[in-house]
């Protein structure tokens, strides 16, 4: 039973990093290299550019959310609402 639980845990790890759909920025957003208040920006995600929103979230003084963009991967700060909209929302069945 322990081996089965360990195997299921290991197999579920790759699924944790899969992006949650494609999104479009509704305003310019600074993307940081790491989820750290003192870190320097990695790049600027421009209004209208698309990216994938990761499942990882880190809460410190601010809440950070992982993103994957054409320019690279990084973290955005959640500030009273995400500055983006879903590009291709899933259809409800």
Alpha carbon 74 to chain centroid distance?
Answer: 8
Range of the domain at 46: 17-86
Residue 10 lies in a domain: no
Task: Write the pLDDT tens digit of every residue in 7-50.
Answer: 333 333 333 344 467 888 999 988 988 887 667 889 999 999 99
Residue 2 lies in a domain: no
Task: Write the pLDDT tens digit of every residue in 46-76.
Answer: 999 998 888 888 887 788 888 899 889 998 8
- How many distinct structural domains can be found in the chain? 1
State the CATH number of the domain containing residue 60.
2.30.30.40
Give the H/E segment covering residue 22: strand 22-25
């Amino acid at each position: 039973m322990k081996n089965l639980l360990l195997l299921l845990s290991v197999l579920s790890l790759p699924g944790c990093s899969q992006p949650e759909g494609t999104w479009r920025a509704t305003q310019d957003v600074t993307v940081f290299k790491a989820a750290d208040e003192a870190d320097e920006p990695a790049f600027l995600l421009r209004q209208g550019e698309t990216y994938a929103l990761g499942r990882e979230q880190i809460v410190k003084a601010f809440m950070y959310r992982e993103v994957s963009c054409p320019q690279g991967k990084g973290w955005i700060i959640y500030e009273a609402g995400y500055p983006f909209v879903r590009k291709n929302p899933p259809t409800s069945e």
